[in-house]
Amino acid sequence: MSQKFRLRYDLSKVEHGTTLYRIEATKDFSDVKEGDLGGWIEMEGKLSQEGDCWVYDDACVYHYAFVFGNAKIYGNAEVSGMSKVYGNAKILDNVSVNGILEIYGEAEISDNAEIFEFAKIYGNAKVFGEAKIQGYAQVYDNAHISGKAQIYSSAKIYGHAYITDNAKICDDAEIYDFACVRDNAEVSGMAEIHGVTFVHNCACISGGADIFEDAEVYGNAIVDEYALIFGEAKVYGNAIVSGEAKVYGNATINGNVHIIGDAVIGDDEDYYICKCIWSYCEDVTYTHSNKMWCYDGVNYTSQEIVQKMYEESELNGHLCKTMVDYIETLYKIIEENNNTNK
């Protein structure tokens, strides 16, 4: 097999302490013509003599990196470390690739994106903007990562997922299907975001939380532990949903609502938020499915929360009992009306 390029030892430069040489095509192939000057590589073993792979423009390949198959490196991109770029992958612009990583398939990395450590980018994935992919993170299928998004640890982004702006995805989190995470949202732990969900603003999803179907989480909302948000539910504002709580259907959780434990919220009638008039603490959230009162991040039965307030003062206890009696009476009326209408 005849070689397709040679090193031009008369054209050299030093990058990061390593001497690199221009390559020159010695035959026609792909869009390269015999005599064309390519980019810079450290030695012949950095670029395969087989296939249509090529290093263009001022791109550099050095250290233990290897470009093969039909992969193409353009612009001012740098491929170093023990990186492998192959298949029909494209690295363009000012991209930096450095680590024991792989980029292959039809993947395309452009703009000022950075790929580090043990990451894998493949399929039809696209990473651009100033995005950073590192750790053992994987981005594949038709996923798009852009803006200043950061994907790290062992996170996986796939399907048609879209991560952008300053979003951060880490740990063992998975984002897939047509899910979108943007703005300053963070997803961590073993959380899963999928379906046609939208997580944005400063929302924080962690633990083993699962957000799916057409759900939306935004504002400063927090969803953690093993909470499920699905259907067309919306969680936003300063709301917190945790434990094994389920929010689904057309339910809207917003404000200072705190849904924890095994609460089930299918619509807006399934919970009630009460202004805590006897204390500077957060509002009290009543969830009807489990008949619990969440106060200061802890669930109480009706009897327990009244007793707790009486322990603080006679006035607090009286005010709390009035509130509990009112809400319980309200829900009895709602249940009677619902039974009548059946």
pLDDT tens-place string over residues 212-226: 999 999 999 999 999
- Tell me, what DSSP letter sits at residue 32? B
On the question of pLDDT at 278 being above 70, the answer is: no
On the question of pLDDT at 206 being above 80, the answer is: yes
Mean pLDDT score, 29-58: 97
Residue 1 is predicted with a pLDDT of 60
Classified as helix, coil or strand, 66 is strand
Identify which has the larger pLDDT, 342 or 150. Answer: 150
Residue 336 is predicted with a pLDDT of 79
**How many residues would you count in the chain?**
342
Instruction: List residues bridging with 294 in a β-sheet.
Output: 285, 299
Identify which has the larger pLDDT, 326 or 85. Answer: 85
> Which of the listed ranges 13-17, 100-104, 311-315 does the model predict with the highest average pLDDT?
100-104
% the chain with pLDDT above 90: 85
Token pair recorded at residue 163? 């991560």
Identify which has the larger pLDDT, 107 or 335. Answer: 107
Residue 277 is predicted with a pLDDT of 65
On the question of pLDDT at 205 being above 80, the answer is: yes
- Among 221, 206, 292, CA closest to 252: 221
Angle ∠(188,228,308) on CA atoms, nearest 5 = 95
In Å, how far from its chain's centre is CA 73? 27
Regarding beta strands 114-117 and 132-133, do their DSSP bridges make them parallel or antiparallel, or are they unpaired? parallel
263-276 tens-digit pLDDT: 999 999 899 998 77
Q: How far apart are CA 281 and CA 275, in angstroms?
A: 10
Classified as helix, coil or strand, 241 is strand
Of the candidate ranges 74-78, 88-92, 313-317, 333-337, the one whose mean pLDDT is the lowest: 333-337
Mean pLDDT score, 100-126: 98
* pTM score above 0.95: no
Find out whether 82 and 115 touch, Cβ atoms under 8 Å: no
Q: How far apart are CA 208 and CA 112, in angstroms?
A: 32
Give the full edge-to-edge strand order of the sheet including 54-55.
Answer: 54-55, 72-73, 90-91, 108-109, 126-127, 144-145, 162-163, 180-181, 198-199, 216-217, 234-235, 252-253
Residue 342 is predicted with a pLDDT of 59
On the question of pLDDT at 152 being above 70, the answer is: yes
% the chain with pLDDT above 70: 97
Buried b (16+ CB within 10 A) or exposed e, 207-217: bebbbbeebbb
Buried b (16+ CB within 10 A) or exposed e, 271-301: bbbbebebeeebbbbbbbbeebbbbeeebbe
On the question of pLDDT at 96 being above 80, the answer is: yes
312-327 tens-digit pLDDT: 889 888 888 998 999 9
Angle ∠(156,161,167) on CA atoms, nearest 5 = 75
